[in-house]
A and B are shown apart, each in its own frame.
Chain A
């Protein structure tokens, strides 16, 4: 006991007042006036989040036993497959086409020709994305169970794709023939450059 009094730091460690102080400081975090500062949003935000995560957790508890390995892989794969594979793929494809053709600019029509290429390509791509199992005849038992043939789907898709590009080419030809598109685009390009100059100047002066 005497030694304890000789060591004030030890005494401090058992100091209840200090402990109480710590607890109070921790609890103060949940004071509605201070809560947002450490949490980053209001208490209602936290309640909404917790409520919905509880629901998601409840459903997950029933979902997971169906395939505890496959289902998480599918969920993560869904996000990665879209955000880090599909989306970069079509962006790179779009930019590559633009870059390749930009070098030949003098011969290119001045209208936004890329849209006449990207729109039919993207629409055809979306159809393929949805119906690739039928188009590539992947469901093995389809004909046995439905009596329907899988053969027409590839041809249907190719025909629709052809029609889309044909339609697009016709639209581009009409627009070039009318000629107003060319003038409008050149005019637009000039105006865009002016807008950008003004914007830059504004930012520099600030």
Chain B
């Protein structure tokens, strides 16, 4: 390789004198690196937890990535308490992801001269490192872009969101682990080389480039700085703070909801049904004739063919013992509602009525035809939880069609799409 290329870099970005920013250097890069080192594992963990929350091991119906193989090694039955568990997990995953965008951009800006190292490949080790950086940068941008487009429901990525974001995360993490293993000592050395407090006290007039180093970051011919290192940190911090301020309200709710001016589900909707939806009755092609007086709920029991099916009208359900549970709706897209007072029949009561008092799982089917989430399999824990309801009313009023009239499932601590709307049948498996 060495012999094929001229030893002197060609003009342009391959020459070190091309890069002139006086604030680029290992210390600044390491501060951004440290922030990402602390945050990316949180992103990964909340992402994996969100996948576990779908209970993909329970049934093919729940699994959006059936080919996961070894990558599903950690799966466990998702708990139903605390009820805000999924809301918190997804709020952190999405909001933190948005907040990290400026940090990631600044980190990439700070190391860009390295892309134009000369010679481009020094040894087999160096070649592997550069390939790992392709996984790292490509994976990071791929994950951020697919996530950010998905929460805006602009499905322009090449395939279904779930496998793309899930397997993409593993590719990204492979690159991330390699990068951390290689760079951690350099990061610690760089952070120790300057005092953080000292940098915060250094204004523009006293800002000087970091001492020359073997790496590519410190410029050999620095231009007069136009911003201090503390200025760069404040710049990135302001970006993160602004993005958080304009989006966190869609997950936190309450009085903060109106501050979510740039988030898909900011703003308030009024009335007892005044909370957000991500699938209306019209978009799910639910016909009024199906949900009117002719609607019936069918309760089945799997594996007991001799047992007759139970068929209930909405009036029958209202005659049963009613319970109220205060639960949020939390979407995988990160937005969530405050707790709403749902009233209806306990799923465990319906299981008993179907003749399966201790079901191992339950298949819920919606009137909706097609669509990945028109049916779902619930775990025993989810069915038996006293807060798990087949809700008929919310906040003292009948459900509206968009919220699932005549009846919907509402579960504590579960992903929004598992709260099946327009329920047609429940089949309990003993």
> Which of B67, B115, B170 contacts A56 (CB under 8 A)?
B170
Give per-residue flags for B92-127: 1 if the beta carbon is below 8 A from chain A beta carbons, else 0: 000000100110010011001001000000111110
> Which of B145, B158, B226, B279 contacts A66 (CB under 8 A)?
B158
Contacting residues, chain B, for A55 (C-beta < 8 A): 170, 173-174, 177
Interface segment out of the listed B149-157, B299-307, B409-417: B149-157
**Sample of 14 more A-B contacts, CB < 8 Å, known A59-B174, A75-B142:** A45-B182, A49-B129, A52-B177, A55-B177, A78-B137, A78-B145, A112-B227, A126-B239, A127-B243, A134-B264, A146-B280, A147-B269, A148-B265, A156-B246
Does B276 lie within 8 Å of A146, measured CB to CB? yes
Give the shortest distance, in Å, between B140 (CB) and chain A (any CB).
8
Could you give 6 example pairs across A and B, Cβ below 8 Å? A40-B123, A62-B65, A75-B142, A147-B277, A147-B402, A192-B225
The 6 closest A-B pairs by CB, nearest first: A40-B123, A188-B205, A70-B158, A40-B125, A78-B141, A59-B170
B168 near A: Cβ within 8 Å? yes
Report the Cα distance A41→B157, complex, angstroms: 38
Report the Cα distance A142→B154, complex, angstroms: 8
Question: Given the known A-B contacts A52-B174, A74-B158, A138-B154, are A127 and B122 also in contact in the complex, defined by CB atoms under 8 Å?
Answer: no
> Which of B69, B168, B174, B235 contacts A119 (CB under 8 A)?
B235
A89 near B: Cβ within 8 Å? no
Give per-residue flags for B392-420: 1 if the beta carbon is below 8 A from chain A beta carbons, else 0: 00000000001000000000000000000
Contacting residues, chain A, for B44 (C-beta < 8 A): none
Question: Given the known A-B contacts A115-B231, A153-B262, are A139 and B115 also in contact in the complex, defined by CB atoms under 8 Å?
Answer: no
A157 near B: Cβ within 8 Å? yes
Report the Cα distance A164→B224, complex, angstroms: 26
A109 near B: Cβ within 8 Å? no
B278 near A: Cβ within 8 Å? yes
Question: Given the known A-B contacts A45-B125, A62-B69, A145-B153, are A131 and B262 also in contact in the complex, defined by CB atoms under 8 Å?
Answer: yes
A185 near B: Cβ within 8 Å? yes
Does A56 lie within 8 Å of B171, measured CB to CB? yes
Does A145 lie within 8 Å of B158, measured CB to CB? no
B68 near A: Cβ within 8 Å? yes
Contacting residues, chain A, for B206 (C-beta < 8 A): 188, 191
Contacting residues, chain A, for B178 (C-beta < 8 A): 48-49, 52
A141 near B: Cβ within 8 Å? yes
Q: Give me the interface of A with B, judged by CB distance under 8 Å.
A: 38-41, 45-46, 48-49, 52-53, 55-56, 58-60, 62-63, 65-67, 69-71, 73-76, 78-79, 81-83, 87, 98, 112, 114-115, 119, 122-123, 126-127, 129-131, 133-134, 138-139, 141-142, 144-148, 152-153, 156-157, 159-160, 164, 184-185, 187-189, 191-192, 195
Interface segment out of the listed B159-167, B310-318, B345-353: B159-167
B242 near A: Cβ within 8 Å? yes
Q: Give me the interface of B with A, judged by CB distance under 8 Å.
A: 65, 67-71, 98, 101-102, 105, 108-109, 112, 115, 122-126, 128-129, 131-132, 134-135, 137-139, 141-142, 145, 148-149, 152-154, 157-160, 163-164, 167-168, 170-171, 173-175, 177-178, 181-182, 203-206, 208, 224-227, 231, 235, 238-239, 242-243, 246, 261-262, 264-265, 267, 269, 276-280, 282-283, 402
Contacting residues, chain A, for B276 (C-beta < 8 A): 146, 148
Does A146 lie within 8 Å of B265, measured CB to CB? yes
| Interface hub of A52, A87, A144, A185 (most chain B Cβ within 10 A) | A52
Does A58 lie within 8 Å of B142, measured CB to CB? no
Does B265 lie within 8 Å of A56, measured CB to CB? no
Question: Given the known A-B contacts A63-B164, A129-B101, A147-B402, are A74 and B142 also in contact in the complex, defined by CB atoms under 8 Å?
Answer: yes
Report the Cα distance A186→B266, complex, angstroms: 46
Does A145 lie within 8 Å of B242, measured CB to CB? no
Does A66 lie within 8 Å of B235, measured CB to CB? no
Contacting residues, chain A, for B135 (C-beta < 8 A): 56
Report the Cα distance A59→B182, complex, angstroms: 22
Contacting residues, chain B, for A59 (C-beta < 8 A): 71, 167-168, 170-171, 174
> Which of B145, B154, B246 contacts A139 (CB under 8 A)?
B154
Does B105 lie within 8 Å of A126, measured CB to CB? yes
Does A142 lie within 8 Å of B112, measured CB to CB? no
Does A78 lie within 8 Å of B138, measured CB to CB? yes
Report the Cα distance A159→B259, complex, angstroms: 13
Contacting residues, chain B, for A126 (C-beta < 8 A): 101-102, 105, 239, 242-243
Report the Cα distance A87→B137, complex, angstroms: 13
Contacting residues, chain B, for A48 (C-beta < 8 A): 177-178, 181-182
Does A146 lie within 8 Å of B278, measured CB to CB? yes
Does A66 lie within 8 Å of B159, measured CB to CB? yes
| Interface hub of A65, A130, A139 (most chain B Cβ within 10 A) | A130
Report the Cα distance A70→B156, complex, angstroms: 11
Does A112 lie within 8 Å of B280, measured CB to CB? no
Give the shortest distance, in Å, between A166 (CB) and chain B (any CB).
14
> Which of B137, B153, B225, B269 contacts A142 (CB under 8 A)?
B153
Contacting residues, chain A, for B101 (C-beta < 8 A): 126, 129-130
Does B125 lie within 8 Å of A157, measured CB to CB? no
Give the shortest distance, in Å, between B231 (CB) and chain A (any CB).
7
> Which of B115, B261, B283, B402 contacts A83 (CB under 8 A)?
B115
| Interface hub of A71, A129, A184 (most chain B Cβ within 10 A) | A71
Contacting residues, chain B, for A39 (C-beta < 8 A): 123-125
Report the Cα distance A66→B227, complex, angstroms: 45
Does A62 lie within 8 Å of B167, measured CB to CB? yes
Does B123 lie within 8 Å of A141, measured CB to CB? no
Does A112 lie within 8 Å of B226, measured CB to CB? yes
| Interface hub of B115, B175, B205, B231 (most chain A Cβ within 10 A) | B205
Report the Cα distance A119→B231, complex, angstroms: 10
